A and B are shown apart, each in its own frame.
Chain A
């Protein structure tokens, strides 16, 4: 007997699983770097370059924004990627968090 002839009934994913999957694919998470009085400005610029592959000019713009405005939104990403970037920035001892983009 052909197995394909009998449709398989898969269990319905529960609400939490579906919500989480949708959130993980939603590029609605911001990676924010916060100002602190201790990290060297050139170092912060350098870390932005190596973590995000940015040009020096772009990295400097964000570094200056962190320094002058207290924070800079670095990227808008999926939950998984935002978490990855936050981990990378923490590895280099930069104060970064991920937040849900409410706009």
Chain B
């Protein structure tokens, strides 16, 4: 997947059929994070907060439901992935790019938590573990798509950017 152009306030990405299928599968894994995973504070008692943990969890659940519904509708739009010479043109607004980033990061962090929250540089250990290797692969795939989406946003803001030509799925080695 790579950024193609910015058109009518939308970002257009080129994505191959395999990439489209993987992206959809990753999005369907949302939500992967437990709503109560993140602590609200470290040095204060959560009961001191006006809303507290229960309300925070409720808000997060509502947010997750809304995001899941939005991505479900987006993926089911017939014209979202427009065939073009054996590839697809994926057209997204900046808001939709942010939605995808949020979803992919949730799945990425959710896999990391399920893999035991390994420290940086633990990829070799994960690859050798048949239980955790798929989690690592999912994390890296999410990272690949996140990189392509962030690259698209950057290029939309800086059209003269002369960085490389974006991310290719072939370049990605899980």
Contacts of B112 in A (CB 8 A): 38
Chain B 142-157 near chain A by CB (<8 Å), digits 1 or 0: 0100110010010000
Chain A 53-94 near chain B by CB (<8 Å), digits 1 or 0: 000000000000000000000000001100100110011110
Determine whether the beta carbon of A100 is less than 8 Å from that of B44.
Answer: yes
A79-B50, A92-B102, A97-B41 are known contacts. Are A37 and B147 too (CB-CB below 8 A)? Answer: no
Name the one of B44, B60, B139, B146 contacting A43, with C-beta atoms under 8 angstroms: B146
Nearest chain A CB to B43 CB, angstrom units: 5
- Interface size for A (C-beta < 8 A) is 25
**Which of these binds chain A: B2-10, B32-40, B80-88?**
B32-40
- Interface size for B (C-beta < 8 A) is 33
Determine whether the beta carbon of B150 is less than 8 Å from that of A97.
Answer: no
Q: Decide if the interface of chain B is mainly helix, strand, loop or mixed.
A: helix
Determine whether the beta carbon of A20 is less than 8 Å from that of B39.
Answer: no
Nearest chain B CB to A95 CB, angstrom units: 6
Q: In the assembly, what is the distance between CA of A98 and CA of B91, in Å?
A: 37
Contacts of A24 in B (CB 8 A): 50
**A to B CB contacts below 8 Å, 14 in the list:** A37-B119, A38-B108, A38-B109, A40-B150, A42-B150, A46-B101, A50-B98, A80-B50, A92-B101, A93-B33, A93-B106, A93-B109, A98-B40, A99-B41
